[in-house]
Chain A
Amino acid sequence: MTLSGALAVASCTDPGMVRSHNEDSIASDGDQGLVVLADGMGGYNAGEVASGMATTVIITELQQLLEKRVPYEIDAHSGQLVAHQLLHEQIAKANTSIYQAAQSQPQYAGMGTTLVVALFYDNKMTVAHIGDSRMYRLRGGELRQVTKDHSLLQEQIDSGVITPQQARQSQNKNLVTRALGIDPIVEAEIHDYETQPEDIYLLCSDGLCDMVSDDDIGLALQTLSSNLKLCAQHLVQTANDNGGRDNISVILVRVLRDYPAPRSIVGKMMSWFK
């Protein structure tokens, strides 16, 4: 199944103004409706290794699986939506690969990565995330954060210890409560969302949202929507102009048209009788 022409995708990744390494990794396949972003952590180059493994495993495996599996169908064995099942399995696979590498090679000990993945199909998307890499949506001039960070700060906000405004001043940034590759098993948070033509989705590492206010992100998405590549570069540049203290990665997805699932006649008949 291909979504050719339904989505426009652009991305940009940059080490920022302070770091020498870029520990972020990004991958995308617009025709398959697949975007992946990971922000690695760990000493020396271990962060790059972890995030690179995550994006590579997830994109290559899913590309192959999507040749034969249909994301909007229900899996006969598990009763799960195939999209969820595929994401669960491949995230678990990436987790195992990173965890085993970290266990077996001392230079990779303790490495891990955040992850945000989106799979677009049938006028919908399934988003899986772990850690503090985010997805935002711009619809009708309104910017909303789609994912909720797995971080100490988010937990403090949820429990009322601090307000979102105070969180901007906190010294406890970058403490994630979930990451890929740290433990033998990880649970990704997975949700489905309807999409609409003209929606713009932004996947980003914390190097963007820590340095650029939501207002400025929204303004950039709104103003530069007709040139996604320029928009991605502009967001990275703004983060760098504001100090660029961390690696900065962005992936932008713009929904150009509807992309309903090409269901068979029999399938349609079945749905009428339900």
Chain B
Amino acid sequence: MAKLILSMDGLVLKEIALTKERTTIGRKPHNDIQIDNLAVSGEHAVIVTILQDSFLEDLGSTNGTVVNGQPIKKHFLQNNDIIELGKYKLKYVNEAVAGQAKAADFEKTMVLRPGSVKAATPAPAAAAAPVAAPVAAAAAGGARNFSDTVAGQSATAAPVAPPKPAAVPQKNGALQLLSGANAGKELDLTKPLTTLGKPGVQVAVITRRPQGFFITHVEGVSFPVVNGKTLDAQAHSLNDHDVIELAGVKMEFFLKT
């Protein structure tokens, strides 16, 4: 259950559990959280709670609502957000996030049956009729293009990052070509997947994982050779200065510091 901790000048005044669907904040006494201070409007803001999620909305207050230093109109509250109203601070704590053991239970898929959530919130209970055109949804959802093969660094600039605990190995890897027309050239292994070789002839892929870098055969009759040994179909862990032979080209894998 999420809660708010009200404080002023670092002094905790009280804790408020967000049990209601609408928790109002303001100076007037009918508010769920009353803050008797002239900097706070009569009806200042409201927190709408839908199951485990809470949304803060400013109700057109005179002095505005600030979250983590930013003035907001509407805000999706995240664990440890600090809401500022004049001299007062409200810290948002979501126990479901804080307690990881409990969080595992929440991740079990459950069925939400129509009527089990009171639908007075902005969410219309559309459970019965969401048969919208999926094509339009896909278009609106923003198709992404992957045609760029070398420079696309999905991990660095992705605005929508999934939870990635330690998804990046400490060291960066790179390949230096030792033979062929491009001998001496370096290729940084920044992407989660980098393919090597000639499509239709021989292709291998280097995957970048939290544990390090791995090379795996993808297609072709011949398999890649690492340090003179031919690989099988399994992924092979790469060590600093391993020499890879693939489609007639020799290259050295090395870790960058």
Contacts and interface: CB of A to CB of B under 8 A. Distances in A.
Contact of A171 (B53, B162, B203): B53
Given A223-B195, A242-B162, A171 B106 contact: yes
A159 B218 contact: no
Contacts of B158: 213, 215
B87 interface: no
A234 B165 contact: no
Given A158-B130, A174-B107, A179-B111, A219 B138 contact: no
B127 A177 contact: yes
Interface in A74-93: none
Given A176-B112, A178-B127, A212-B162, A146 B51 contact: no
A133 to B, nearest CB: 10
Interface stretch (A5-13, A60-68, A148-156, A256-264): A148-156
A216 B107 contact: no
B207 interface: yes
B137 interface: yes
A140 B146 CA distance: 9
Contact of B147 (A141, A160, A238, A242): A141
B203 A161 contact: no
Given A148-B137, A241-B167, A112 B51 contact: no
A112 B111 CA distance: 8
Please report whether the interface of chain B is mostly helix, strand, loop or mixed according to DSSP. loop
Contact of B143 (A143, A161, A219): A143
A206 B218 CA distance: 26
Interface in A112-145: 112, 114, 131-132, 138, 140-145
A165 B160 contact: yes
Contacts of B96: 171
Contacts of A69: none
Interface of A: 18, 39, 41, 112, 114, 131-132, 138, 140-148, 150-152, 154-156, 158-162, 164-166, 168-179, 182-183, 189, 191, 206, 210-216, 218-220, 222-224, 226-227, 230, 234, 237-238, 241-243, 245-246
Interface of B: 50-53, 55, 76, 78, 94, 96-97, 104, 106-114, 117, 121-124, 126-127, 130-132, 134, 137-139, 141, 143-147, 152, 154, 158-165, 167, 191-193, 195, 199, 203, 205, 207, 209-211, 216, 218-219
Give the 8 A-B residue pairs with the shortest CB-CB distance, closest first: A171-B52, A141-B147, A215-B154, A144-B138, A174-B109, A226-B219, A175-B112, A41-B109
